[in-house]
């Protein structure tokens, strides 16, 4: 009887040791699998952030020619005014030298009349005001562009969506202002906690898509309003709209109706993620539901 008990004891002990070994092996394997999943998740986050930045930079590249024109125009007339001001400064220096050697009042009067100092004095305020306005315009364009293209590591802060929209439109102005007039109906909005840079990217992407849907020109409509504990932004256009078969696919990654090489199919997918994941809001699209007859994108963002 004691032999059977001892054998049972050893069998139980061996089974326990085997179970402990299996548990230890499983725990070790689970630990390493977990480390691999964490590394894969971090890699996925980095890749996602790179895609967001690449899409944003693609938008900036699309706008480059328009922005260059918007900057070159005020810079051009400001530099031209500086050239005139330099000439005036040289003329005034010659005048001052002549006045230093003048011996009587008639000579002073003749010098002033001959060198047309009255014209210079009358022209100076306009030249200076125009130059200051031009340089301030350039400063604003650069500021808006920096706000639009800043790093995707965007932190949440309180902001007004109307101001974010206006910044975005300022950046887009050189690209769309002639062929695509923008009609805005901006309501009084409470501030929201949001990532301003990412929302600017969403607005720009949808507006650019609207213009690309209207190759022969057309109008873009933007409307904002408060609705309880949410704010709503609607962007619509006069284009042909989105085919019904594609309405459920437009936010899918890599879906695009553009020719190969002209679109990644990531723009609207990234917009959808920014609104739904980063802001806990919603983004939807319908045809003819806004002020325009074409596509209408509706963005809803909670106040908190």
In this structure, the answer to whether residues 131 and 245 fall within a common structural domain is: no
Confidence of residue 260 (pLDDT cuts 50, 70, 90): very low
Whether residue 259 is predicted with pLDDT greater than 60 in this model: the reply is: no
State which of 149, 175, 207 marks the end of a domain: 149
Do 243 and 187 fall into the same domain? yes
In this structure, are 287 and 161 located in the same domain? yes
pLDDT tens per residue, range 125-147: 888 888 888 888 788 777 766 76
Q: Are residues 118 and 1 in the same domain?
A: yes
Give residue 257's pLDDT band: very low, low, confident or very high (50, 70, 90): low
125: CATH: 1.10.287
pLDDT of residue 61: 61
Calculate mean pLDDT across residues 214-236: 92
Percent of the residues in the chain that have a pLDDT greater than 70, as a whole number: 74
Same domain for 187 and 262, yes or no, is yes
**Burial grade of 265 (CB within 10 A; 0-12, 13-18, 19 or more):** middle
CA quadruple 224, 227, 231, 236: dihedral sign: negative
Q: Write down the pLDDT at residue 65.
A: 61
- The domain boundary residue, chosen from 125, 149, 173: 149
Do 132 and 77 fall within a single domain? yes
Are 232 and 224 in contact by the 8 Å Cβ rule? The answer is yes
The CA distances from residue 94 to 30, 89, 101, 112, 131, in Å, are 88, 9, 11, 11, 24
Q: pLDDT tier at 196 (50, 70, 90 boundaries)? A: confident
304 versus 295: the higher-pLDDT residue is: 295
| pLDDT at res. 28 | 76
Provide the 3-class DSSP secondary structure of residue 238. Answer: coil
Residues 104, 197, single domain; the answer is no
71, burial (CB in 10 Å: exposed 0-12, middle 13-18, buried 19+): middle
| Interatomic CA distance for residues 300 and 225, integer angstroms | 10
Contact between residue 207 and residue 165 where contact means Cβ atoms under 8 Å apart:
no
pTM listed for this prediction: 0.61
Structure tokens at 284: 């939807």
- The CATH number that applies at residue 162 is 3.30.565.10
pLDDT score at 36: 81
**Local confidence band at 162 (pLDDT 50, 70, 90 cut-offs):** very high
Residues 1 and 51 in one domain: yes
Contact 162, 224 (CB under 8 A): yes
How many structural domains comprise the chain?
Answer: 2
My answer on whether 282 and 163 are in the same domain is yes
| Domain shared by 143 and 168, yes or no | no
- Taking residue 80's Cβ as centre, other Cβ atoms within 10 Å add up to 14
Q: Which of 149, 175, 199 lies at the terminal end of a domain, its last residue? A: 149
Q: Are residues 135 and 172 in the same domain?
A: no
Q: Judge if 94 and 215 occupy the same domain.
A: no
Name the residue range of residue 97's domain: 1-149
**Stronger pLDDT, 59 or 233, i.e. the higher one:** 233
Structure letter (DSSP) for residue 245 = G
Higher pLDDT, 263 or 67: 67
Residue 86 has pLDDT above 60, yes or no: yes
């Amino acid at each position: 009887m004691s032999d059977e008990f001892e054998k049972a004891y050893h069998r139980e002990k061996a089974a326990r040791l085997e179970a402990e070994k299996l548990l230890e092996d499983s725990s070790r394997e689970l630990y390493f699998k977990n480390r691999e999943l964490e590394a894969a998740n971090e890699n996925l986050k980095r890749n996602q952030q790179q895609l967001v930045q690449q899409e944003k930079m693609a938008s900036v590249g699309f706008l480059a020619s328009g922005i260059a024109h918007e900057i070159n125009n005020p810079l051009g007339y400001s530099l031209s005014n500086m050239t005139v001001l330099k000439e005036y400064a040289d003329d005034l220096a010659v005048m001052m030298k002549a006045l230093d050697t003048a011996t009587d009042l008639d000579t002073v009067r003749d010098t002033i009349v001959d060198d047309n100092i009255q014209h210079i004095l009358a022209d100076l305020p306009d030249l200076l005001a125009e130059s200051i306005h031009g340089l301030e315009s350039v400063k604003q364009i650069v500021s808006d562009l920096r706000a639009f293209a800043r790093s995707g590591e965007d932190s949440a802060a309180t902001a007004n969506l109307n101001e974010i929209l206006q910044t975005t439109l300022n950046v887009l102005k050189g690209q769309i202002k002639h062929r695509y007039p923008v009609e805005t109906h901006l309501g009084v909005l409470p501030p929201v906690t949001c990532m301003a840079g990412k929302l600017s990217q969403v607005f720009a992407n949808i507006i650019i898509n609207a213009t690309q849907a209207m190759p022969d020109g057309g109008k873009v409509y933007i409307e904002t309003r408060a609705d309880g504990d949410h704010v709503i932004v609607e962007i619509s256009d006069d284009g042909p709209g989105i085919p019904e078969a594609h309405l459920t696919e437009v936010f899918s990654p890599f879906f695009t109706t553009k020719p190969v090489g002209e679109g990644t199919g990531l723009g609207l997918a990234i917009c959808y993620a920014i609104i739904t994941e980063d802001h806990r809001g919603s983004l939807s699209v319908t045809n003819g539901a806004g002020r325009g007859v074409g596509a209408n994108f509706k963005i809803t963002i909670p106040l908190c």
